[in-house]
A and B are shown apart, each in its own frame.
Chain A
Amino acid sequence: MKRLLPYIAVAFFASVPLWLQDQYFLHTLVVTGIFVIAAMSLNLLLGYTGQLSLGHVAFFGIGAYVSALTSLGFSVEIFGLQITHEPWPAVIGVLFGTIVAGLCGYVIGKLAFRVRGAYFVIVTISFAEVVRLVSLNWVELTNGPLALPGIPPLTLGFEWTGYATLWGKAQNYYVVLATIVLAYILIKRLVNSPYGRAMIALRENETLAVSVGISVTKYLVLAAVLSGAMAGVAGGLYAHYIQIIDPMIFMFLNTVTMVIMVITGGKGTLAGPLVGGLIFGIAPVVLRSYVGPEVQWILYGLLMILIVFVLPQGIVPAIERWFTRKGGSASASKPAGLVLESSKGARS
């Protein structure tokens, strides 16, 4: 059952555009999916290496801006040098956005992981703020607060297959779903490999991890690069789907949303960001008809506090424990909840 669950979930979500009539709700699902990707990328850092990035939205926004600018083209003057870039296909834009966001992850990782814990949090917050100010004030490049409108939608295909431009919601929905599946597989493989184990070891006990030959900087920087790049993908998809971006994308609230998704879902679990992302992505739409947006934020805060108090590990580990306990009492005498998810997945 447990092994089938991911396939059932994918099949279910793939069928959604076929029967869902409400286009607004489909739009909500696309945006939720994009945030789920961002939350998954944050989980790689926060969940597996234990480092909290409170500037994660920077990678998301950089992915969005780089992707948008690559596909829109721009002309700026730097130190008296005129740089003009002709518009490129949107797919190349997403690719560039991913690479640049990954590079930023590398730089931030190299700089920030000399000091860990609270200092890393501060460095990431500052980084996001700097990027936001740049996007706001470098008007020549980013249009500043006037936003970058008219970003072209993604165009997929090859010369021999013909091209399809993704104008519709359903098409974008499938692209996002496919990206989530890819990201999930990537993270799953990584976590069950020496790379992921090194990251978990550093989270659990750095001194001991170092004593068995694990390099702290190498694995933390690697996590930051992958995490940044993945957030960059999400940003790129966002830009080409919404087709307009402005510096509001760097709002601290967006980072907080990602953190809430990861923590309530269950940090350091594969399914955690998916579950948390779905809940906090869809909740605003469902709640909208009952309460105003201000009250909604209060409700999220309360929900978050409640979950952290009642299920400190998050929703996914709690459900897992519940199932282990039920299965354990029926079949085996093994104590419940003693097996970590990583070891179970690893042995399968």
Chain B
Amino acid sequence: MTVAATGAPRPILAIEHVAVHFGGLIAISDMNFVVNEGELVSLIGPNGAGKTTAFNVITGFLKPTKGQVTFKGQSLNGLKPHEVTSLGLVRTFQRTSVFEKISVFDNVLIGLHRRTSASLFGTIFGLPRERRQEKALREEAWEILRLVGIEHQADELGGSLPYGDQRLLGVALALAANPSALLLDEPVSGMNASETGRFVALLNKLRANGKTILLVEHDMPMVMGISDRIVVLNYGRIIANGTPKEIQNDPDVIQAYLGQGVKHA
């Protein structure tokens, strides 16, 4: 078994028995799932099912009441968000995903923060090592802008971009942190069809580069088309976990999304 493990799934992110209670409200009751390396997994569910809460727990913005999250075999319990990012697990946000009053180029430069080892001393005295690093950073920022496809807007302010491009910039920011796993919170919500098409093309490019992606999304055609696996949440509980095909035919999922009116008809 282990010899032929080249194609075997290797878990990179594991959510084990995670529960989140806000006072008496149970946002997530008991969540278990894994994301394997290089996989694209979608987390779906009706509004209020706990998807964003799950994201917040995974990335350290929220402490779970119970359970733990492990990334690359390391427990993330008690880590601050910026420490989680440093391990290579980076997220985007539903709304505020770009620095609005800062140029697109500088947005990406900020995203590259984790890549530099410039010392304060060297920075202040303008030492060659820091100058070289800064130059390399700028080149890398251009590369990321080109990868995402918004390089011609580098000089514009983040907040002045069209909506779809802002989402792309949000991903560029996250990519700049050089994540091995990317968590995208409703990246295509509010996008028109052509913008969504561009976004899916970008996701496919990222997968080709070996990035692991966990996606929260409501756009079902997109989710069904792009995901390796889908995890369905309802009322803070996982009700299904499988390939898009399995999910489409799962009676629990159909009931969660459409209700059970058929029986009473």
Binds B, one of A4-12, A55-63, A164-172, A189-197: A189-197
Q: Which B residues lie at the A interface, using CB under 8 A?
A: 59, 61, 80-82, 85-86, 90-93, 96-103, 105-106, 109-114, 116, 118, 120, 123-124, 126, 130, 134, 137, 155-157, 160, 173-174, 176-177
Q: Which of A186, A189, A205, A343 contacts B106 (CB 8 A)?
A: A343
A211: B residues at CB distance < 8 A: 59, 81-82, 85, 90-93, 174
Please name 14 further chain A to chain B contacts, defined as beta carbons within 8 Å, in addition to the given A205-B99, A208-B98, sorted by A numbering: A186-B124, A193-B118, A195-B120, A197-B109, A198-B113, A204-B99, A204-B101, A207-B93, A210-B82, A212-B90, A212-B111, A214-B113, A338-B103, A340-B157
Count chain B CB atoms within 10 A of each CB in A193, A222, A346 and give the residue with the most. Answer: A193
Q: Which A residues lie at the B interface, using CB under 8 A?
A: 186, 189-190, 192-195, 197-198, 200-201, 204-205, 207-216, 222, 334-335, 338-340, 342-343, 346-347
Give Cα A339 to B153, complex, Å.
Answer: 11
B177: A residues at CB distance < 8 A: 212-213
Question: For residue A342, which residue of chain B has the nearest CB?
Answer: B106
B85: A residues at CB distance < 8 A: 210-213
Q: Is the CB of B113 within 8 A of A340?
A: no
Q: What are 7 A-B pairs at a CB distance below 8 A?
A: A189-B126, A204-B100, A210-B80, A212-B110, A213-B85, A213-B113, A343-B106
Interchain residue pairs A-B with the least CB separation, the first 6: A213-B85, A213-B114, A343-B103, A193-B123, A201-B110, A210-B81
B105: A residues at CB distance < 8 A: 343, 347
Question: For residue A186, which residue of chain B has the nearest CB?
Answer: B124
Give Cα A201 to B124, complex, Å.
Answer: 19
Q: Is the CB of A212 within 8 A of B96?
A: no
Q: Is the CB of A212 within 8 A of B176?
A: yes
Give Cα A72 to B141, complex, Å.
Answer: 53
Known: A208-B96, A211-B93. A201 touches B103 (CB 8 A): no
A210: B residues at CB distance < 8 A: 80-82, 85
Q: Is the CB of B82 within 8 A of A198?
A: no
A347: B residues at CB distance < 8 A: 105
B124: A residues at CB distance < 8 A: 186, 189-190
A193: B residues at CB distance < 8 A: 118, 123, 130, 134
A339: B residues at CB distance < 8 A: 103, 155
Question: For residue B107, which residue of chain A has the nearest CB?
Answer: A201
Give Cα A338 to B157, complex, Å.
Answer: 6
B80: A residues at CB distance < 8 A: 210, 215
Known: A200-B102, A211-B91, A212-B176. A190 touches B96 (CB 8 A): no
B101: A residues at CB distance < 8 A: 204, 340
Q: Which of B103, B160, B173 contacts A212 (CB 8 A)?
A: B173
A212: B residues at CB distance < 8 A: 85, 90, 110-111, 113-114, 173-174, 176-177
A215: B residues at CB distance < 8 A: 80, 82
Question: For residue B176, which residue of chain A has the nearest CB?
Answer: A212
B114: A residues at CB distance < 8 A: 212-213
Q: Which of B81, B93, B106, B137 contacts A340 (CB 8 A)?
A: B106
Give Cα A213 to B93, complex, Å.
Answer: 14
Question: For residue B154, which residue of chain A has the nearest CB?
Answer: A343
Known: A214-B82, A216-B82. A208 touches B99 (CB 8 A): yes
A192: B residues at CB distance < 8 A: 134
B126: A residues at CB distance < 8 A: 189
A194: B residues at CB distance < 8 A: 112-113, 116, 118, 123, 137
B176: A residues at CB distance < 8 A: 212
